[in-house]
Amino acid sequence: MKAVINVKGTKMSVLTIHYNRDGEPTSVNTRDEKGRLDKTYADKSLEGNAADIYDGFLDLKTALEYPELEARIVEGNNRLIEHLDKMLEHENIELTNIAIEGMESKPDLPFDSQLSRKQHEYKLRQQRLFGLIDGVEEVKAFTEGYFLNVDDEADEAQSSH
C-alpha cells in the first residue's frame, strides 16, 4: 500500500514512514518526481525537538493517506451493501409468502392452530426483516462517513467543555 501525505492540499509520495514503539508515525520522508528523498516531516508532537532537521511539522495521523487501502475498503463496503440488499429482498419475498399461505390455508378443525403457527412464523420473519433493514441502514451510514462526522462533533463538544 503506497501512502501519500497531504501537505497544505498538496499530495506528495511517501518514501519512508518512521514509527515509535506505540505504532504511531513520528516522521515521514517524501520523494520527488525522480523517486529521490525530497523533504522530511515530523509529527507535530515532536515540534521543538531538533526543529532544524525537519522541513515541517504535521499531524501525521491525519496527513497520511492510503488511497489504495481506502479504495479497497469502499469496494468491500459496497459489496456488503449489495449482498445485504439482496438478502433483504429475499427475506421480504419469504415474508410475503408466509402471509399468503396463512390467508389461503383452510383450517381442518374449528380450532386448528395452523393460522396461529403461520402468524407466529410471520411475526418472527418480520422481526428478522426489521433487523436486516436496521443493519443495512447502519452499514450505509458508516460507509457514507456518518459516524466519522458524529464522532468528530462529539470530540469537538467535549473539548469545548
Per mean pLDDT, which range of 38-42, 82-86, 104-108 is the poorest? Answer: 104-108
**Do 52 and 96 share a structural domain?**
no
**Do 19 and 93 share a structural domain?**
no
**pLDDT computed for residue 158 by the predictor:** 47
**Do 80 and 131 share a structural domain?**
yes
**Do 23 and 86 share a structural domain?**
no
Q: 5 with 41: CB under 8 angstroms? A: yes
**Do 110 and 41 share a structural domain?**
no
C-alpha cell belonging to residue 27: 516522521
**Do 56 and 130 share a structural domain?**
no
Greatest extent of the chain over all pairs of C-alpha atoms, in Å: 92
C-alpha cell belonging to residue 106: 383452510
Among 43, 65, 87, identify where a domain stops: 65
**Do 73 and 40 share a structural domain?**
no
- pTM for the model: 0.58
Q: How confident is the model over 86-112, as pLDDT tens digits? A: 999 999 999 888 888 877 776 665 666
**Do 55 and 130 share a structural domain?**
no
Among 65, 82, 99, identify where a domain stops: 65
**Do 98 and 20 share a structural domain?**
no
Q: 27 with 18: CB under 8 angstroms? A: yes
Domain holding 45, by residue range, is 4-65
Kindly list the distances between the CA atom of residue 47 and the CA atoms of 14, 24, 38, 39, 60, in Å, as whole numbers in the listed order.
20, 15, 20, 16, 12
Domain total in the chain: 2
**Do 74 and 125 share a structural domain?**
yes
Burial readout 36-55 (b: 16 or more C-beta within 10 A, e: otherwise): eeebbbbbeeeeeeeeeebe
Q: How much of the chain exceeds pLDDT 90, in percent? A: 10
Q: Name the residue among 30, 28, 64 with its Cα closest to residue 46.
A: 28
**Do 97 and 154 share a structural domain?**
yes
